[in-house]
Amino acid sequence: MLSVRDLTVSLGPATAPVDIVAGVSFELGKGEILGLVGESGCGKSMTSLAVMGLLPQPGPRIRTGQVLLEGSDVTQMEPWQRVEAGHGRMAMIFQEPMTSLNPVRRIGDQIAEAVQVHDRVSGLPATARARELLELVRMPDPAMQLSAYPHQLSGGQRQRVMIAIALACRPQVLIADEPTTALDVTIQVQVLGLLRELCNRLDMAMLFITHDMGVIAQLADRVAVMYAGRIVETAGVEALFGRPCHHYTRGLMDCMPSRNSGARRLPTIGGQPPAPGTVRAGCVFASRCAAVRETCRSVAPPRAEVSSGHEVLCAFPLDDGGPR
Amino acid sequence: MTGNAVLDIKDLKVSFKVRRSGGKYQVRAVDGVSLSLAEGEVLGIVGESGCGKTTVGRSIVGLARPDSGSISFKGKDMSAAGLRDMRLNIRMVFQDPYASLNPRRTIGDSVAEAGDINGFFTGRAERSAAIAAALTAVGLDPSFAARYPYELSGGQRQRAGIARTILPSPSIVIADEPVSALDVSVQAQVLNLMMDLREQLGLSMLFISHDLGVIGQISNRVAVMYMGRIVEQATTRAVLDDPRHPYTRSLVAAIPKPDPSKRILGAIETGEPPSLFKRPSGCAYAPRCPLASHRCLVDVPELRSVDDRALACHNV
């Protein structure tokens, strides 16, 4: 469905590029939910914008790599070319729905606008489809809400509207960048449930970006953990949580409060992620890794397959998931 | 609670005037909250956005003006206690470390500000030493005193924000979502720091958060707020392990557990959040509540003591 190969996104002059996404590869199958998890600045949002063709201009650019949607590379296409070629069927939703919606237009019109672009219809048929989309995202009272303005809706309802707009193009791939981070937990669980239901029902694949390991565990089929522009571990969700092999993955899980209820102190990962472009040799995680060895600082770690479908970018991976 | 309460809030009510679609509305953000904070205790306040938890914190430090009710610090009514004394004793850590530090002042000047205003330092050397000690206490190198906020990462800024609250040393720290803007690995560092400081300085803390996981880590007791009222209050373990109020139950159930074998999506029903402009006549939670009975629609449940906790519900 979607295949990203060796994607590198860089900033700065072509003669001295700084890679903020460095050689990221992943596959997304039909109907699959891939969770991309990492902390701020690790390059997860840049990866999604690059895949979507939405990198801010001027600014970061794709230096190498391919983004194959059903076999054709979309990195070299302009947005209109993507639509013409039938590769427009990728959509994205963002963290804060209020900043993505137009505050002075009724939501029905905003959904219908997306319908007009993709279905080439307008007027009543577009409104009818907008209503259908609101029903699809389980908006209470959809016919009434068509005439509501964004400020009249709650945060959860606004995110439902964003999802409805994204679904207007009948996407094969939905990219969701922290769509529930701004929502209360009680609403988050509803929106996550809706997204999973839609993936099943519409046979839609989803790239779900988050910093929250709990959300990943609840939602994803497979997980890619990102650190300093690289995917450091990728595995099925059960395998990743059952047996994390990268020291960073393990650290992320350990420092979650909900895994330590009652403990007096939380385990932490010391230090901070390196600034992009500052690690010239060796492993990007070496400066924070508790199990670092001399070779880690000089030799780039190999990508090793610890079991089928479970890969880790580490020379000395945890072999038993570490002590429990 | 006990006789050694450092902070005692009785029947606090705070409302705001809001203009919406031509009309003026009175929104009651806090509707009769009573709390007490014992010496050395961490009391967590948890609830969804708009429940009034931040307004409670801001009322205590005087950033919001209560309509009625009393707030007393060590037995003295706060309105009479003298603002200056109160402000040195009760300090606040804010949510957004990017917005709460003045971008044009050095970290050292921001940290020393409360001391400067109150004539706390006798000379430059003493001031510098105090700044260095405060920065060291929060795990920052003393050289950070000369830096500006833009030079710091989010975690470092929040450490600086905490350093501001411990110089001079206060009795109570009100922490309003202090780790919500931080990454998980940094969040753990800052939570550990707050627990350490509380122990070293004997602080009492009001810890406001929407995240029950974080609250569970740091608090001794938890108060759960819904639409301006406390609906359940008990020890942290009692609230997390055995939530009784239907709202607390749904909050606990909705935490995304980091365990793929315990999936909850689609399995729990949490309802739509309420509008602050349309307060239901009876129990504010009744429209979302699975246990709601006829009585809940007309009769506001009072907070009463049940077994090991305080509860405001007719049906549990």
Domain spans in chain A, listed from the N-terminal domain onward: 99-170
Q: Are residues B216 and A187, on separate chains, in Cβ contact within 8 Å?
A: no
| pLDDT (average), residues B106-123 | 93
Chain A residue numbers touching B185 (CB-CB < 8 A): 39, 251-252, 255, 268-269
Chain A residue numbers touching B180 (CB-CB < 8 A): none
Closest listed residue to residue A93, CA positions, set A8, A201, A183, A10: A183
| pLDDT (average), residues B111-120 | 92
User: Mutating which of A186, A197, A216 best tests the B interface, going by the most B Cβ atoms within 10 A?
Assistant: A186
**What is the distance between the alpha carbons of residues B56 and B43, in angstroms, rounded to a whole number?**
13
Q: Are residues B264 and A259, on separate chains, in Cβ contact within 8 Å?
A: no
pLDDT at B303: 95
Residue A207: band (very low, low, confident or very high) from pLDDT cuts 50, 70, 90: very high
A188, A196, A257 member nearest B217 (Cβ):
A257
Higher pLDDT, residue A79 or B293: B293
Residue A83: band (very low, low, confident or very high) from pLDDT cuts 50, 70, 90: confident
B156: closest chain A residue by CA:
A272
CATH number of the domain where residue B63 is located: 3.40.50.300
Residue A272 confidence (pLDDT) above 70: yes
Chain B residue numbers touching A247 (CB-CB < 8 A): none
Q: Are residues B212 and A253, on separate chains, in Cβ contact within 8 Å?
A: no
B185, B192, B260 member nearest A252 (Cβ):
B185
Q: Are residues B217 and A212, on separate chains, in Cβ contact within 8 Å?
A: no
| pLDDT (average), residues B86-106 | 90
3-state SS assignment for residue A219: helix
With b for 16 or more beta-carbon neighbours within 10 A and e for fewer, the A103-120 pattern comes to: eeebbbebbbbbbbebee
B185, B211, B273 member nearest A251 (Cβ):
B185
pLDDT at B2: 47
Beta-sheet pairing, B204-209 with B68-73: unpaired
Chain B residue numbers touching A259 (CB-CB < 8 A): 258
> Residue A69 corresponds to which tokens in the numbers above?
């949607």
Residue A320 confidence (pLDDT) above 70: no
Closest listed residue to residue A228, CA positions, set A248, A213, A210: A248
| pLDDT (average), residues A83-95 | 79
Residue B20: band (very low, low, confident or very high) from pLDDT cuts 50, 70, 90: low
pLDDT at B200: 92
Chain B residue numbers touching A253 (CB-CB < 8 A): 258
pLDDT at B1: 44
What is the extent of the structural domain holding B264? Answer: 5-311
How do residues A282-319 score in pLDDT, each as one tens digit? 999 999 999 999 999 999 999 999 999 999 999 999 97
Percent of chain B's residues with pLDDT above 90 = 71
How do residues B191-202 score in pLDDT, each as one tens digit? 999 999 999 999
How do residues B33-70 score in pLDDT, each as one tens digit? 999 999 999 999 999 988 999 999 999 998 899 999 99
DSSP annotation of A138 reads T
Residue B152 confidence (pLDDT) above 50: yes
3-state SS assignment for residue A34: strand
Cα angle, residue A134 at apex, residues A132 and A140 outer, rounded to 5°:
120
A240: closest chain B residue by CA:
B260
**What is the distance between the alpha carbons of residues B178 and B187, in angstroms, rounded to a whole number?**
9
The region of weakest confidence among A21-30, A128-137, A254-263 is A254-263
> Residue A80 corresponds to which tokens in the numbers above?
């209109």
**What is the distance between the alpha carbons of residues A95 and A209, in angstroms, rounded to a whole number?**
10
CB-defined contacts A:B, below 8 A? 131
Chain centroid to CA A138: how far?
Answer: 23
Closest listed residue to residue A195, CA positions, set A86, A70, A92: A92
**Long-range contacts of range B80-86, CB-CB < 8 Å, 24 or more positions apart?**
B84/B118, B86/B62
A157, A192, A255 member nearest B184 (Cβ):
A255
Q: Are residues A259 and B251, on separate chains, in Cβ contact within 8 Å?
A: no
Residue B32: band (very low, low, confident or very high) from pLDDT cuts 50, 70, 90: very high
Residue B223 confidence (pLDDT) above 50: yes
Residue B134 confidence (pLDDT) above 90: yes
Chain B residues with CB within 8 Å of chain A CB: 48-49, 153-155, 183-189, 191-192, 195, 210-214, 216-217, 237, 240, 250-251, 254-261, 263-266, 268, 270-273
Is residue A47 within 8 Å of residue A254, measured between CB atoms? Answer: no
- In a domain, residue B70? The reply is yes
Q: Which strands, in side-by-side order, build the sheet including A90-93? A: A90-93, A173-177, A205-210, A33-37, A222-227, A230-236, A310-313, A303-307
Q: Are residues B265 and A192, on separate chains, in Cβ contact within 8 Å?
A: yes
Chain A residue numbers touching B188 (CB-CB < 8 A): 255, 257, 266-269
Q: Determine if the peptide bond prior to A267 is cis (ω within 30°).
A: no
Q: Are residues A257 and B268, on separate chains, in Cβ contact within 8 Å?
A: no
Is residue A75 within 8 Å of residue A62, measured between CB atoms? Answer: yes
| pLDDT (average), residues A39-60 | 90
How do residues A178-198 score in pLDDT, each as one tens digit? 999 888 899 999 999 999 999
Residue A59 confidence (pLDDT) above 80: yes
Is residue A205 within 8 Å of residue A29, measured between CB atoms? Answer: yes
| pLDDT (average), residues B177-206 | 91
- Domains held by chain B: number: 1
As a whole number, the mean pLDDT across chain A is 90
Task: Quickly count: other Cβ atoms within 10 Å of residue B204's Cβ.
Answer: 22
> Residue A274 corresponds to which tokens in the numbers above?
């390196």
Give whole-number Cα distances, A77 to A67, A85, A137, B125, in Å. Answer: 11, 9, 30, 63
- In a domain, residue B316? The reply is no
As a whole number, the mean pLDDT across chain B is 91
pLDDT at B81: 64
Residue B105 confidence (pLDDT) above 90: yes
Q: Which helix (H) or strand (E) holds B242?
A: none
| Helices within A13-69 (DSSP H only) | 44-52
Segments of B107-220 assigned E as strands: 172-176, 204-209
How do residues A151-182 score in pLDDT, each as one tens digit? 888 888 999 999 999 999 899 999 999 999 88
B187: closest chain A residue by CA:
A255
Residue A240 confidence (pLDDT) above 60: yes
Residue A86: band (very low, low, confident or very high) from pLDDT cuts 50, 70, 90: low
The region of weakest confidence among A92-106, A260-274, B7-21 is A260-274
pLDDT at B269: 83
